[in-house]
Amino acid sequence: MRLKNPTLSVVRAALLVGGLFLLFAPPASAQTLMTTGEPKRDEKLEPMVEEMRIKRLITHAQKEHKENLGRAQQLSSLGAELSTVFKQKNHLDRADLKKLDKLEKLTKSIRSAAGGSDDACELEKLPSDLPAVISKMAELAAELKQEVEKTPRRVVSTVVIDQANVLLELIRRVRDLSART
């Protein structure tokens, strides 16, 4: 008969318990992580976060409105400049056509900021000669600037959209007439 060493039995038992512990420890810890749920939100911070978000939106809208006013100012000055240059030279050169492109881009930006889209408009009474079209274009650019300045930033202005569409049609007409000469 063999006598058991008591220390050997204790070591074996300890290894067995430790092995079982290591075997079941990862699933047990994973279960506790899954059941914790969402972290609790601080109710005191939520109104402040919402207020900051609203202030950021207002600041962004004000910035966009100022940029739109700047575009309208630039639009008016480009229209007047093109009219003056045409009266002096009686034709449009390459640099003037680039200004005309810039005028078209500004007009589209203003129309878009006012809530308009890419709807083409047909005018019944288009001037037939280039000097009259350029003069009308410069006049309409100045009127559009005044309308943009009068319009509050939270308003969708159909007047601005309509004038922008007419101005875009005049710009197309200037291109057609200047290509013929």
Amino acid at 104: E
Indicate the pTM of the whole model.
Answer: 0.66
Tokens of 96: 């003037």
pLDDT per position as a tens digit, 100-125: 999 999 999 998 888 877 766 666 67
Q: What is the pLDDT of residue 102?
A: 94
Distances (CA, A) of 117 to 82, 95, 160: 26, 28, 12
pLDDT in tens, 24-72: 766 555 555 455 555 556 666 788 888 999 999 999 988 988 998 999 9
Domain residue spans in the chain? Answer: 59-180
Contact criterion met (CB below 8 Å) for 133 and 174: yes
- Residue 37 backbone phi and psi in degrees, to 5: 80, -165
**What count of residues does the chain have?**
181
